[in-house]
Amino acid sequence: MIQPADRISEVKEYYFSVKLKEIDKMRRSGIDVLNLGIGNPDNPPSSEVIEELTEQAAKDNNHGYQSYVGILELRESFSTWYKKYYDVTLDPSSEILPLIGSKEGIMHISMAFLNPGDGVLVPNPGYPTYSSVSKLVGADIISYDLKEDNGWLPDLDELEKHDLSKVKLMWINYPNMPTGANADEEFFKKVITFGKKHNILICNDNPYSFILNNEHRSIFQIEGAKDTALELNSLSKSHNMAGWRVGMVAASAEIINYILRVKSNMDSGMFKPLQLAAVKALGLDDDWYTEVNMEYMKRRILVWEIMDTLGAEYDKEQTGMFVWAKIPEKYESSRDLSDEVLNKAHVFITPGFIFGSNGEKYIRISLCSNKTMLKEALKRIKQLLI
Protein backbone atom coordinates (compact mmCIF):
# COMPACT_ATOMS: atom_id res chain seq x y z
CA MET A 1 0.00 0.00 0.00
CA ILE A 2 1.35 3.40 -0.98
CA GLN A 3 2.08 5.54 2.06
CA PRO A 4 1.61 9.33 2.15
CA ALA A 5 4.41 11.73 2.93
CA ASP A 6 5.34 12.08 6.60
CA ARG A 7 4.21 15.71 6.55
CA ILE A 8 0.60 14.59 6.09
CA SER A 9 0.65 12.97 9.52
CA GLU A 10 1.28 16.41 11.02
CA VAL A 11 -2.00 17.92 9.81
CA LYS A 12 -5.66 16.99 9.87
CA GLU A 13 -8.46 17.81 7.48
CA TYR A 14 -9.58 21.42 7.98
CA TYR A 15 -12.22 21.59 10.74
CA PHE A 16 -14.81 23.32 8.58
CA SER A 17 -14.35 20.71 5.85
CA VAL A 18 -15.18 17.98 8.36
CA LYS A 19 -18.09 19.92 9.87
CA LEU A 20 -19.62 20.69 6.50
CA LYS A 21 -19.70 16.96 5.77
CA GLU A 22 -21.50 16.37 9.06
CA ILE A 23 -24.01 19.13 8.32
CA ASP A 24 -24.55 17.78 4.81
CA LYS A 25 -25.25 14.31 6.24
CA MET A 26 -27.82 15.79 8.65
CA ARG A 27 -29.48 17.67 5.81
CA ARG A 28 -29.65 14.56 3.62
CA SER A 29 -31.42 12.80 6.48
CA GLY A 30 -34.08 15.51 6.40
CA ILE A 31 -32.81 17.86 9.13
CA ASP A 32 -32.80 21.56 8.22
CA VAL A 33 -29.49 22.80 9.63
CA LEU A 34 -28.72 26.52 9.74
CA ASN A 35 -24.98 27.14 9.37
CA LEU A 36 -23.87 30.31 11.18
CA GLY A 37 -20.25 29.28 11.29
CA ILE A 38 -18.26 30.23 8.22
CA GLY A 39 -17.22 33.70 7.06
CA ASN A 40 -18.42 33.19 3.51
CA PRO A 41 -20.07 36.39 2.17
CA ASP A 42 -23.53 35.48 0.96
CA ASN A 43 -24.15 38.62 -1.11
CA PRO A 44 -22.67 39.09 -4.59
CA PRO A 45 -19.99 41.53 -5.68
CA SER A 46 -20.96 44.84 -7.25
CA SER A 47 -22.94 44.45 -10.49
CA GLU A 48 -20.23 46.53 -12.18
CA VAL A 49 -17.65 43.88 -11.25
CA ILE A 50 -19.78 41.04 -12.58
CA GLU A 51 -20.44 42.94 -15.81
CA GLU A 52 -16.70 43.52 -16.25
CA LEU A 53 -15.97 39.81 -15.80
CA THR A 54 -18.68 38.87 -18.29
CA GLU A 55 -17.49 41.38 -20.87
CA GLN A 56 -13.82 40.43 -20.55
CA ALA A 57 -14.51 36.67 -20.57
CA ALA A 58 -16.31 37.05 -23.90
CA LYS A 59 -13.17 38.34 -25.59
CA ASP A 60 -11.24 35.79 -27.64
CA ASN A 61 -7.80 36.96 -26.54
CA ASN A 62 -8.31 36.80 -22.76
CA HIS A 63 -8.04 33.05 -22.18
CA GLY A 64 -4.33 32.30 -22.28
CA TYR A 65 -1.78 31.89 -19.52
CA GLN A 66 -1.03 35.07 -17.65
CA SER A 67 2.03 36.53 -16.01
CA TYR A 68 2.99 35.09 -12.62
CA VAL A 69 3.13 38.65 -11.24
CA GLY A 70 -0.35 39.61 -12.46
CA ILE A 71 -1.27 42.23 -15.02
CA LEU A 72 0.10 45.72 -14.46
CA GLU A 73 -3.42 47.20 -14.25
CA LEU A 74 -4.18 45.02 -11.20
CA ARG A 75 -0.94 45.84 -9.42
CA GLU A 76 -1.51 49.54 -10.09
CA SER A 77 -5.07 49.28 -8.77
CA PHE A 78 -3.87 47.63 -5.55
CA SER A 79 -1.30 50.41 -5.22
CA THR A 80 -3.93 53.14 -5.71
CA TRP A 81 -6.27 51.38 -3.25
CA TYR A 82 -3.55 51.25 -0.59
CA LYS A 83 -2.75 54.92 -1.08
CA LYS A 84 -6.39 56.00 -0.93
CA TYR A 85 -7.48 54.01 2.11
CA TYR A 86 -4.28 53.32 4.04
CA ASP A 87 -2.15 56.29 2.95
CA VAL A 88 0.59 53.79 2.09
CA THR A 89 2.78 54.02 -0.99
CA LEU A 90 3.54 50.70 -2.72
CA ASP A 91 5.50 50.39 -5.95
CA PRO A 92 3.25 48.38 -8.32
CA SER A 93 6.27 47.21 -10.30
CA SER A 94 8.09 45.57 -7.40
CA GLU A 95 6.23 45.67 -4.06
CA ILE A 96 2.89 44.01 -4.90
CA LEU A 97 2.28 40.40 -5.91
CA PRO A 98 -1.31 39.35 -6.75
CA LEU A 99 -2.28 35.94 -5.38
CA ILE A 100 -4.96 33.38 -6.15
CA GLY A 101 -6.46 34.15 -2.75
CA SER A 102 -4.41 35.19 0.27
CA LYS A 103 -4.70 31.69 1.80
CA GLU A 104 -2.30 30.40 -0.85
CA GLY A 105 0.00 33.24 0.12
CA ILE A 106 0.39 31.76 3.60
CA MET A 107 1.83 28.63 1.98
CA HIS A 108 4.03 30.57 -0.46
CA ILE A 109 5.46 32.74 2.32
CA SER A 110 6.11 29.77 4.59
CA MET A 111 7.84 27.82 1.81
CA ALA A 112 9.92 30.84 0.87
CA PHE A 113 11.22 31.61 4.36
CA LEU A 114 10.92 28.61 6.69
CA ASN A 115 13.35 25.72 6.77
CA PRO A 116 12.61 22.57 8.78
CA GLY A 117 13.35 23.38 12.39
CA ASP A 118 12.93 27.15 12.03
CA GLY A 119 10.66 28.74 14.62
CA VAL A 120 7.42 30.44 13.69
CA LEU A 121 5.33 32.47 16.14
CA VAL A 122 1.63 31.61 15.78
CA PRO A 123 -1.23 33.31 17.67
CA ASN A 124 -3.47 31.41 20.09
CA PRO A 125 -6.33 31.85 19.27
CA GLY A 126 -5.64 32.31 15.58
CA TYR A 127 -6.43 31.25 12.04
CA PRO A 128 -5.75 27.46 11.95
CA THR A 129 -3.98 27.67 8.57
CA TYR A 130 -0.99 29.42 10.17
CA SER A 131 -0.30 26.28 12.19
CA SER A 132 -1.17 23.70 9.54
CA VAL A 133 1.04 25.28 6.89
CA SER A 134 3.89 25.67 9.38
CA LYS A 135 3.63 21.93 10.09
CA LEU A 136 3.60 21.09 6.39
CA VAL A 137 6.91 22.88 5.85
CA GLY A 138 8.46 21.30 8.94
CA ALA A 139 8.77 24.46 11.02
CA ASP A 140 8.60 24.48 14.82
CA ILE A 141 5.46 26.23 16.02
CA ILE A 142 5.87 28.55 18.97
CA SER A 143 2.39 29.48 20.13
CA TYR A 144 1.96 32.92 21.68
CA ASP A 145 -1.02 33.93 23.80
CA LEU A 146 -3.74 36.36 22.87
CA LYS A 147 -5.92 37.08 25.89
CA GLU A 148 -9.01 39.14 26.44
CA ASP A 149 -7.48 41.07 29.36
CA ASN A 150 -4.74 42.31 27.03
CA GLY A 151 -7.13 43.34 24.26
CA TRP A 152 -6.28 40.17 22.29
CA LEU A 153 -2.82 41.60 21.55
CA PRO A 154 0.44 39.66 22.01
CA ASP A 155 2.50 40.49 25.08
CA LEU A 156 5.74 41.34 23.32
CA ASP A 157 7.52 42.00 26.62
CA GLU A 158 6.71 38.45 27.70
CA LEU A 159 7.95 37.06 24.38
CA GLU A 160 11.23 38.92 24.89
CA LYS A 161 11.94 36.67 27.89
CA HIS A 162 12.17 33.60 25.67
CA ASP A 163 14.90 32.36 23.36
CA LEU A 164 13.95 33.74 19.95
CA SER A 165 17.20 32.92 18.18
CA LYS A 166 15.60 30.30 15.90
CA VAL A 167 12.42 32.27 15.19
CA LYS A 168 12.21 33.30 11.55
CA LEU A 169 8.63 34.46 11.13
CA MET A 170 5.69 35.78 13.17
CA TRP A 171 2.03 35.72 12.11
CA ILE A 172 -0.20 38.57 13.25
CA ASN A 173 -3.73 39.35 12.07
CA TYR A 174 -5.36 42.73 12.75
CA PRO A 175 -8.23 43.40 12.63
CA ASN A 176 -8.16 40.02 14.33
CA MET A 177 -9.95 36.84 13.43
CA PRO A 178 -11.54 35.24 15.42
CA THR A 179 -11.73 37.86 18.20
CA GLY A 180 -12.60 41.02 16.22
CA ALA A 181 -9.94 42.98 18.14
CA ASN A 182 -8.20 45.94 16.55
CA ALA A 183 -4.58 46.99 16.88
CA ASP A 184 -3.53 50.63 17.13
CA GLU A 185 -0.53 52.45 15.72
CA GLU A 186 1.41 52.00 18.97
CA PHE A 187 1.15 48.22 18.74
CA PHE A 188 2.33 48.18 15.13
CA LYS A 189 5.32 50.34 16.08
CA LYS A 190 6.21 47.92 18.87
CA VAL A 191 5.89 44.82 16.71
CA ILE A 192 8.04 46.34 13.96
CA THR A 193 10.72 47.20 16.55
CA PHE A 194 10.41 43.63 17.87
CA GLY A 195 10.86 42.19 14.36
CA LYS A 196 13.93 44.29 13.62
CA LYS A 197 15.55 43.51 16.97
CA HIS A 198 15.21 39.75 16.54
CA ASN A 199 15.46 39.56 12.74
CA ILE A 200 11.92 38.15 12.47
CA LEU A 201 9.68 38.61 9.43
CA ILE A 202 6.39 40.05 10.70
CA CYS A 203 3.49 38.85 8.54
CA ASN A 204 0.27 40.84 8.97
CA ASP A 205 -2.79 39.12 7.52
CA ASN A 206 -5.20 41.99 6.84
CA PRO A 207 -8.44 40.94 5.07
CA TYR A 208 -10.95 42.44 7.55
CA SER A 209 -10.04 46.12 7.69
CA PHE A 210 -13.11 47.25 5.67
CA ILE A 211 -15.74 45.25 7.57
CA LEU A 212 -17.48 47.22 10.35
CA ASN A 213 -14.26 49.10 10.90
CA ASN A 214 -13.79 52.84 10.48
CA GLU A 215 -10.01 52.84 10.81
CA HIS A 216 -8.21 51.20 7.90
CA ARG A 217 -4.78 50.27 9.21
CA SER A 218 -1.82 48.77 7.42
CA ILE A 219 1.43 47.70 9.01
CA PHE A 220 3.16 49.79 6.35
CA GLN A 221 1.87 52.96 7.95
CA ILE A 222 4.80 52.47 10.32
CA GLU A 223 8.09 53.96 9.15
CA GLY A 224 10.63 51.29 8.29
CA ALA A 225 8.07 48.46 8.26
CA LYS A 226 9.16 47.22 4.84
CA ASP A 227 12.54 46.31 6.36
CA THR A 228 10.99 43.50 8.39
CA ALA A 229 7.32 43.01 7.44
CA LEU A 230 4.91 41.94 4.76
CA GLU A 231 1.13 42.22 4.51
CA LEU A 232 -1.53 40.01 2.98
CA ASN A 233 -4.82 41.44 1.78
CA SER A 234 -7.81 40.12 -0.13
CA LEU A 235 -11.00 41.03 -1.96
CA SER A 236 -12.84 38.05 -0.45
CA LYS A 237 -14.42 39.88 2.47
CA SER A 238 -14.20 43.55 1.46
CA HIS A 239 -15.77 43.04 -1.98
CA ASN A 240 -17.88 39.84 -1.55
CA MET A 241 -15.49 37.97 -3.85
CA ALA A 242 -14.52 34.97 -1.71
CA GLY A 243 -14.94 32.39 -4.48
CA TRP A 244 -13.11 34.54 -7.00
CA ARG A 245 -9.81 33.97 -5.16
CA VAL A 246 -8.17 37.37 -5.59
CA GLY A 247 -5.62 38.44 -3.01
CA MET A 248 -2.23 40.06 -2.77
CA VAL A 249 0.93 40.29 -0.74
CA ALA A 250 2.78 43.58 -0.28
CA ALA A 251 6.41 43.77 0.79
CA SER A 252 9.82 45.06 -0.21
CA ALA A 253 11.03 44.06 -3.68
CA GLU A 254 13.48 41.59 -2.14
CA ILE A 255 10.80 39.76 -0.16
CA ILE A 256 8.41 39.73 -3.12
CA ASN A 257 11.09 38.13 -5.28
CA TYR A 258 11.61 35.32 -2.76
CA ILE A 259 7.86 34.61 -2.66
CA LEU A 260 7.69 34.74 -6.46
CA ARG A 261 10.27 31.96 -6.71
CA VAL A 262 7.76 29.67 -4.97
CA LYS A 263 4.59 31.01 -6.58
CA SER A 264 5.92 30.81 -10.14
CA ASN A 265 6.48 27.08 -9.66
CA MET A 266 2.99 26.46 -8.28
CA ASP A 267 0.52 28.23 -10.59
CA SER A 268 0.30 29.60 -14.11
CA GLY A 269 -1.19 33.00 -13.41
CA MET A 270 -4.70 34.24 -12.69
CA PHE A 271 -7.45 34.29 -15.35
CA LYS A 272 -7.16 37.71 -17.00
CA PRO A 273 -10.90 38.57 -16.89
CA LEU A 274 -10.80 37.92 -13.13
CA GLN A 275 -7.92 40.33 -12.80
CA LEU A 276 -9.70 43.00 -14.81
CA ALA A 277 -12.86 42.52 -12.74
CA ALA A 278 -10.71 42.93 -9.60
CA VAL A 279 -9.44 46.22 -11.04
CA LYS A 280 -13.06 47.35 -11.32
CA ALA A 281 -13.74 46.25 -7.71
CA LEU A 282 -10.75 48.15 -6.35
CA GLY A 283 -11.99 51.29 -8.09
CA LEU A 284 -15.45 51.28 -6.49
CA ASP A 285 -16.32 54.40 -4.49
CA ASP A 286 -17.04 54.60 -0.77
CA ASP A 287 -20.74 53.89 -1.29
CA TRP A 288 -19.88 50.24 -1.90
CA TYR A 289 -18.27 49.79 1.53
CA THR A 290 -21.08 51.75 3.20
CA GLU A 291 -23.73 49.49 1.67
CA VAL A 292 -21.89 46.31 2.67
CA ASN A 293 -21.44 47.50 6.24
CA MET A 294 -25.03 48.70 6.64
CA GLU A 295 -26.21 45.15 5.97
CA TYR A 296 -23.68 43.65 8.39
CA MET A 297 -24.72 46.14 11.08
CA LYS A 298 -28.34 44.99 10.83
CA ARG A 299 -27.31 41.37 11.03
CA ARG A 300 -24.99 42.00 13.96
CA ILE A 301 -27.90 43.24 16.07
CA LEU A 302 -29.61 39.86 15.57
CA VAL A 303 -26.40 38.00 16.36
CA TRP A 304 -26.05 40.00 19.57
CA GLU A 305 -29.58 38.86 20.47
CA ILE A 306 -28.61 35.24 19.81
CA MET A 307 -25.56 35.65 22.05
CA ASP A 308 -27.73 37.25 24.76
CA THR A 309 -30.14 34.32 24.54
CA LEU A 310 -27.25 31.88 24.99
CA GLY A 311 -25.99 33.88 27.96
CA ALA A 312 -22.70 34.63 26.19
CA GLU A 313 -20.68 37.80 26.84
CA TYR A 314 -19.22 39.89 24.02
CA ASP A 315 -17.63 43.25 23.21
CA LYS A 316 -19.74 45.52 20.99
CA GLU A 317 -16.57 47.28 19.79
CA GLN A 318 -15.48 44.25 17.78
CA THR A 319 -14.77 44.66 14.06
CA GLY A 320 -14.96 42.23 11.17
CA MET A 321 -17.67 39.84 10.03
CA PHE A 322 -18.02 37.74 13.18
CA VAL A 323 -19.16 38.11 16.76
CA TRP A 324 -16.84 36.46 19.28
CA ALA A 325 -18.30 35.76 22.72
CA LYS A 326 -17.43 34.09 26.01
CA ILE A 327 -19.62 31.10 26.86
CA PRO A 328 -21.60 30.80 30.11
CA GLU A 329 -19.82 29.08 32.99
CA LYS A 330 -22.24 26.13 32.93
CA TYR A 331 -20.52 24.84 29.80
CA GLU A 332 -17.12 23.19 30.22
CA SER A 333 -16.09 23.90 26.65
CA SER A 334 -17.13 25.66 23.47
CA ARG A 335 -17.55 22.25 21.84
CA ASP A 336 -20.23 21.34 24.41
CA LEU A 337 -22.26 24.46 23.67
CA SER A 338 -21.80 24.18 19.90
CA ASP A 339 -22.82 20.51 19.86
CA GLU A 340 -25.87 21.16 22.05
CA VAL A 341 -27.12 23.94 19.79
CA LEU A 342 -26.47 21.86 16.66
CA ASN A 343 -28.11 18.69 17.94
CA LYS A 344 -31.11 20.32 19.64
CA ALA A 345 -31.76 23.51 17.65
CA HIS A 346 -30.11 22.40 14.40
CA VAL A 347 -28.03 25.57 14.30
CA PHE A 348 -24.26 25.40 13.83
CA ILE A 349 -22.16 27.89 15.79
CA THR A 350 -18.37 27.77 15.59
CA PRO A 351 -16.69 26.54 18.78
CA GLY A 352 -13.68 28.66 19.70
CA PHE A 353 -11.42 25.72 20.55
CA ILE A 354 -10.64 25.23 16.85
CA PHE A 355 -8.63 28.47 16.95
CA GLY A 356 -6.45 27.31 19.85
CA SER A 357 -6.63 26.58 23.57
CA ASN A 358 -7.27 30.25 24.40
CA GLY A 359 -10.50 30.00 22.41
CA GLU A 360 -11.82 27.10 24.47
CA LYS A 361 -14.30 29.23 26.41
CA TYR A 362 -15.56 31.20 23.40
CA ILE A 363 -17.89 30.80 20.44
CA ARG A 364 -18.13 32.65 17.14
CA ILE A 365 -21.09 33.48 14.90
CA SER A 366 -20.65 34.69 11.34
CA LEU A 367 -22.52 37.69 9.95
CA CYS A 368 -22.64 35.99 6.55
CA SER A 369 -26.22 34.77 6.95
CA ASN A 370 -29.25 36.81 5.93
CA LYS A 371 -31.64 38.29 8.47
CA THR A 372 -34.32 35.67 7.76
CA MET A 373 -31.90 32.87 8.65
CA LEU A 374 -30.65 34.68 11.75
CA LYS A 375 -34.22 35.28 12.96
CA GLU A 376 -35.03 31.61 12.47
CA ALA A 377 -31.87 30.62 14.35
CA LEU A 378 -32.81 32.96 17.18
CA LYS A 379 -36.31 31.45 17.32
CA ARG A 380 -34.94 27.91 17.49
CA ILE A 381 -32.38 28.76 20.17
CA LYS A 382 -35.02 30.48 22.29
CA GLN A 383 -37.15 27.34 22.05
CA LEU A 384 -34.13 25.25 23.01
CA LEU A 385 -33.63 27.20 26.22
CA ILE A 386 -37.26 27.16 27.33
In tens, the pLDDT along 235-255 reads 999 999 999 999 999 999 999
Lowest-pLDDT range of 13-17, 278-282, 366-370: 13-17
Asked if the model's pLDDT at residue 12 lies above 80, the reply is no
Asked if the model's pLDDT at residue 385 lies above 90, the reply is no
What mean pLDDT do residues 350-355 have?
Answer: 94
Domain boundaries 6-44+287-385, corresponding CATH code: 3.90.1150.10
Asked if the model's pLDDT at residue 172 lies above 80, the reply is yes
Question: Quick one: what percent of the chain has pLDDT higher than 70?
Answer: 99
Q: Identical fold at 6-44+287-385 and 47-282?
A: no
Q: Is pLDDT larger for residue 24 or for residue 151?
A: 151
The pLDDT assigned to 110 comes to: 97
Average pLDDT, the chain: 94
What mean pLDDT do residues 140-144 have?
Answer: 96
What mean pLDDT do residues 215-231 have?
Answer: 97
Asked if the model's pLDDT at residue 311 lies above 80, the reply is yes
Lowest-pLDDT range of 24-38, 190-204, 239-253, 321-335: 24-38
The domains of the chain are located at 6-44+287-385, 47-282
Written out in words, the top-level CATH class of the domain with range 47-282 is alpha beta
The pLDDT assigned to 38 comes to: 83
The pLDDT assigned to 386 comes to: 64
Categorize the per-residue pLDDT at 127 as very low, low, confident or very high, splitting at 50, 70 and 90. Answer: very high
What mean pLDDT do residues 322-342 have?
Answer: 95
- CA distance linking residue 150 with residue 156, whole number of Å: 11
The pLDDT assigned to 271 comes to: 96
The pLDDT assigned to 259 comes to: 97
Categorize the per-residue pLDDT at 322 as very low, low, confident or very high, splitting at 50, 70 and 90. Answer: very high
